[in-house]
Amino acid sequence: MIDWMQITGLGVIGEATVDLDPGFTVVTGETGAGKTMVVTALGLLLGRRADAGAVRRGSRRAAVDAGVRLPADHPALSLAAEAGAVLDDAGDGSADLVLSRSVTTSGDGTRSRAGLGGRAVPVGVLAEVGSALVAVHGQNDQVRLRSAAAQRHALDAFGGPQLVAAAAAYRADHTAYVAARRERDLLVERRQERAREAEALQRGLEEIDRAEPEAGEDETLRALIRRLEDVEELRAAADGGHAHLAGPDIESGDDLPGAITLVESARAAVQAAPGDDPELAAAAGRLAEASVILGDIAADLARFSADLDGDAVSDLDAAQTRLAELSRLQRLYGPELTDVLAWAEAQRPRLEELQGDSGRIDELEADLARLDASRRERAADLTTLRTAAAGRLEQAVTAELHALFMPDASFHVSLVPLDGGDPGPHGAEDVALALRPHAGAEPRPLGRGASGGELSRVMLALEVVLAETDPVPTFVFDEVDAGVGGEAAVSIGARLARLARRVQVIAVTHLPQVAAYADRHVRVEKNSDPEAGVTTSDVVTLGQQERVDELARMLAGHGDSAAARAHARELLEASAAERA
């Protein structure tokens, strides 16, 4: 609900703060005082188009701020939080939110700004939040239930838990059916393409499986190839090193001793020294170690040379052939060998999926037959429940219209089968709400075929009936009593009060019979200064005696009439007794 609203520089209102009742607040005032500026201000907060003409004469800026309090789980608060609004915890399971809108005029045009919870937001976001907060019914306002989706939702909600559950069950089946059909159609449409993909995958995986590559194998092969290409030089280097260490072969005829022999001779010479000198003993030990190390190196070089004695040419050919095979796989599925192995691992499940297309299509066909039968059965149940709910809604709203002194009017709910006979996302039919304003006329969609005042009464009747099942927190009725008076006005006031038991109601009226039913009475007062050429309006909340004066003014044209004042008190007492 809206707690308060502050208006600055809007129309004839210079600055005013309006405190609103959680139940029924009525706005009255003399003609031209600016009553509709309250509705205009609410419209700005709901994201309506900003009109530079609404900015007060002599001002450059009009601004409207409002504080709303809603249950913490209300969808409007979620929308506001997503937009970055700051919410104030009220401590009783509800939260407070501030909405703001300003319109600035200057030489280069009109600028409009919107805010939620202290954060600047696009006007569209303000409109989205506002649509979940307030429904405005006026002679120039759109009907809340104009869209087919809103009308269907209203009927389903009116139908009660059984209809809501049936609609949810149908939507679940229909969603599953559409998903299965989409998958089936995609598989059938892309069957040849998927078959080609499967063939290419299988060919690639077979190539990789035949090659049986191992991670790092290509680097090992490159090292082997470099070795085999230099085999003679490697052998000569190893043999030369071995000869210098161990001495030349006998066949060579060279009698130069090797390094090992020289080291052993040096050790023998050191050990031949007389006595037991510790330094010489240490030197002899180190020479012994050097002899062992040199012997190990000589053995390694001999072994290295012996290993090169194989068929180096054939080994080189084999290594180069293998490397070429791996390089081809890397070009196709690499770039690295590890990437080739990873590709193969990732594509095996995809190949299994593609090869299972035929079986999957058969499964989906079976699922589609089952889901289609189920959703058609649920659609039929949904139609039956909607038909019953439509009849009840027609009767209830028509009764309200008659009570609102539209005796020849009737309300109609039509279930229109979808073209082609195939159920859609929400059932087998569209829901259409229509009004027949008088006998002999054809029912016409809401918003057509009725005057502004009639339409407001139609929406009042409909909202009263739907209040328990499909409410928004706040309803605004602008001139809902246009063109009526007397007993009809009393009936309108009573129904506004009845609606206010469940939601907040704000009504702009010129009829005292309606105003008498309000929980809070707000008057817009016009103050003129002809010499200065300025007219201003104030918004004040009336006390009990002030209400009597205002109702008397509305009855007699002025508040000084004793008879009018007595009638005003009678209206207030009668409305209070009826509400009690």
Comparing 178-192, 217-231, 531-545, the range with the smallest average pLDDT is: 531-545
86-124 pLDDT tens trace: 888 887 888 889 999 988 887 666 788 889 988 888 888
**In what side-by-side order are the strands of the sheet with 429-436?**
410-417, 429-436, 444-445
Which carries the bigger pLDDT value, residue 30 or residue 536? 30
Q: Is the pLDDT of residue 261 over 90?
A: no
Residue 92: both structure tokens together: 């009783």
* 3-state SS, residue 531: coil
* 3-state SS, residue 550: helix
Alpha helices in 414-469 (DSSP H): 452-466
Q: Please give the helix or strand (H or E) that residue 540 lies within, else none.
A: strand 534-541
Comparing 20-29, 68-77, 311-320, the range with the smallest average pLDDT is: 311-320
Cβ contact 459:443 at 8 Å? no
Q: Please give the helix or strand (H or E) that residue 115 lies within, else none.
A: strand 109-116
* pLDDT number for residue 559: 64
Query: What secondary structure does DSSP assign to 335-388, as a single string?
Result: SSHHHHHHHHHHHHHHHHHHHTHHHHHHHHHHHHHHHHHHHHHHHHHHHHHHHH
Residue 62: both structure tokens together: 């009009």
Cβ contact 473:134 at 8 Å? yes
Comparing 206-210, 416-420, 476-480, 565-569, the range with the smallest average pLDDT is: 476-480
Determine the Cα–Cα distance for residues 334 and 337; give it in Å rounded to an integer: 6
Beta strands 134-137; 109-116: pairing state: unpaired
438-468 pLDDT tens trace: 888 888 887 665 665 677 778 888 888 888 7
Q: Please give the helix or strand (H or E) that residue 445 lies within, else none.
A: strand 444-445
Residue 267 CA: distances (Å) to CA of 241, 279, 284, 289: 22, 13, 5, 10
Determine the Cα–Cα distance for residues 73 and 64; give it in Å rounded to an integer: 26
309-340 pLDDT tens trace: 556 667 788 888 888 989 989 988 888 899 99
* 3-state SS, residue 247: coil
Share of the chain above pLDDT 90, in %: 23
Domain residue extents for the chain: 161-381
Determine the Cα–Cα distance for residues 496 and 493; give it in Å rounded to an integer: 5
* pLDDT number for residue 73: 85
Give the residue from 369, 248, 235, 212 showing the smallest Cα distance to 302.
Answer: 235
Comparing 168-172, 237-241, 395-399, the range with the smallest average pLDDT is: 237-241
Q: Is the pLDDT of residue 569 over 80?
A: yes
- HEC string of 251-296 equals HHCCCCCCHHHHHHHHHHHHHCCCCCCHHHHHHHHHHHHHHHHHHH
Cβ contact 323:222 at 8 Å? yes
- For range 500-512, the mean pLDDT: 90
The total of other beta-carbon atoms located within 10 Å of residue 117's CB is 21
* pLDDT number for residue 451: 60
Determine the Cα–Cα distance for residues 431 and 52; give it in Å rounded to an integer: 39
127-149 pLDDT tens trace: 888 888 888 876 555 556 777 88
Residue 539 CA: distances (Å) to CA of 14, 26, 29, 31, 548: 10, 12, 9, 14, 17
Determine the Cα–Cα distance for residues 531 and 528; give it in Å rounded to an integer: 9
Could you check whether the bond before residue 471 is cis, i.e. omega within 30 degrees of 0?
no
371-415 pLDDT tens trace: 999 999 999 999 999 999 999 999 999 998 888 888 888 999 999
Determine the Cα–Cα distance for residues 114 and 356; give it in Å rounded to an integer: 56
Q: Could you give phi then psi for residue 445, rounded to 5 degrees? A: -55, 155
* pLDDT number for residue 397: 93
Query: ∠244-247-250 over CA atoms, to 5°?
Result: 140
Determine the Cα–Cα distance for residues 340 and 344; give it in Å rounded to an integer: 6
Residue 535: both structure tokens together: 């007219």
Cβ contact 37:537 at 8 Å? yes
The total of other beta-carbon atoms located within 10 Å of residue 247's CB is 19
**Taking the chain, what is the end-to-end CA distance rounded to the nearest angstrom?**
22
Q: 473 - beta bridge partners?
A: none
Instruction: Give the alpha-carbon dihedral of 369, 374, 377, 383, to 10 degrees.
Output: -110
- Chain centre distance of CA 388: 35
Q: Is the pLDDT of residue 346 over 80?
A: yes
Q: Please give the helix or strand (H or E) that residue 94 lies within, else none.
A: strand 94-106
Determine the Cα–Cα distance for residues 56 and 344; give it in Å rounded to an integer: 74
417-430 pLDDT tens trace: 998 889 999 999 99
Give the residue from 145, 147, 146 showing the smallest Cα distance to 158.
Answer: 145
How is residue 420 annotated by DSSP?
G
Comparing 8-17, 169-178, 310-319, 498-507, the range with the smallest average pLDDT is: 310-319
Q: 452 - beta bridge partners?
A: none
Q: pTM for the whole thing?
A: 0.65
Residue 124 CA: distances (Å) to CA of 112, 189, 360, 392, 563: 12, 40, 45, 36, 51
Beta strands 119-121; 134-137: pairing state: unpaired
Determine the Cα–Cα distance for residues 71 and 95; give it in Å rounded to an integer: 6
- For range 8-33, the mean pLDDT: 84
517-557 pLDDT tens trace: 999 999 988 776 555 445 567 788 899 999 999 999 888 87
* 3-state SS, residue 413: strand
* pLDDT number for residue 532: 47
Q: Is the pLDDT of residue 262 over 90?
A: no
The set of residues, in sequence order, having a beta carbon less than 8 Å from that of 507 and lying 6+ positions away, is 24, 25, 26, 27, 476, 477, 478, 480, 496, 514, 518
**Which amino acid is residue 411, in one-letter code?**
F
Cβ contact 238:305 at 8 Å? yes
114-125 pLDDT tens trace: 899 888 888 889
* pLDDT number for residue 374: 94
